[in-house]
Amino acid sequence: MKLGRIEKWFMNRQHHAERTIENAERLLHFVSIEGEQNFLEVGCGSGAVSNHIARKHPMNVTGTDIDPDQLRLAQQHSGNLANIRFVEADAANLPFEDNDFDIVLSFGVMHHISNWLDALGEISRVLRPGGYFIYWDLVYPKWTAWIARLFEDKYGVTTIEDLDLFIARNNFGTIHSSLSKLLIFNHYEAVYQKS
């Protein structure tokens, strides 16, 4: 789902980019970075994280987003970096081969995707065995999930239980996880490794 004008304004602010980069770097400490790995950001938006990773780490970086306007912005910010590319793609139908990536990152994207389980399935498909999945998003407590599911045709409604079930069924191990409880929904971050 493409973001609305207000959401884009919020997501494209410099403060948001800086905070997201800080979170990505903090979670990358749980990952084994070796040589020229292939890195995928699903839902890269304006490309702040992808561009940062391409500049700081010796990786081949791919950023995907469904919104061509966001991808143009991401490309503008990349300058002449040779190790980065941006691809217009639906997270639930990624145009990559099986086991193509060593690290996949998804920050604040799944709650925008009504078929978020399909998107997670695609992430699992393109991630090689032994690869890392870095996740940060909103999750709903059980008591609010049933209300949010009334809008599930437009938004992804994820609970910790849903996510844990997917992770277990798809042979991921949890390296790190943390839940920050808020009132209506929670923030959840995790680093998983695919078996």
pLDDT of residue 112: 85
Question: Is 154 strand, coil or helix?
Answer: coil
**Cα distance between residue 101 and residue 129, in whole Å:** 9
pLDDT category of residue 63 using cuts at 50, 70 and 90? very high
Report the alpha-carbon distance of residue 195 to residue 172 in Å, rounded. Answer: 6
- Report the C-alpha gap between 181 and 178 in whole angstroms: 10
In a domain, 114, yes or no: yes
The candidate with the shortest Cα–Cα distance to 87, out of 67, 109, 110, 117, is 67
pLDDT of residue 74: 94
Among residues of the chain, what percentage have pLDDT more than 90?
71
Residue 157 resides in a domain: yes
128 pLDDT band, cuts 50/70/90, is very high
Q: Is 189 left (phi over 0), alpha (psi -120 to 50) or beta?
A: beta
CA distance 61 to 101: 9
More confidently predicted of 144 and 96: 96
Show the domain range for 156: 5-18+35-194
DSSP 53-91: HHHHSS-EEEEEES-HHHHHHHHHHHTT-TTEEEEE-BT
Range among 24-38, 140-154, 176-190 rated most confident = 24-38
Q: Examine residue 153 and state whether it is found in any structural domain, yes or no.
A: yes
Rounded CA separation 178/187 (Å): 8
Q: In the chain, how many domains are there?
A: 1
Asked whether residue 23 is assigned to any structural domain, the reply reads no
- Asked if residue 160 belongs to a domain, the reply is yes
Asked if the model's pLDDT at residue 141 lies above 90, the reply is no
Assess whether pLDDT exceeds 80 at residue 160: yes
Does the residue 9 lie in any domain?
yes
Q: Which CATH number characterizes residue 116's domain?
A: 3.40.50.150
Token duo for residue 90:
């639906």
Structural domain contains residue 150: yes
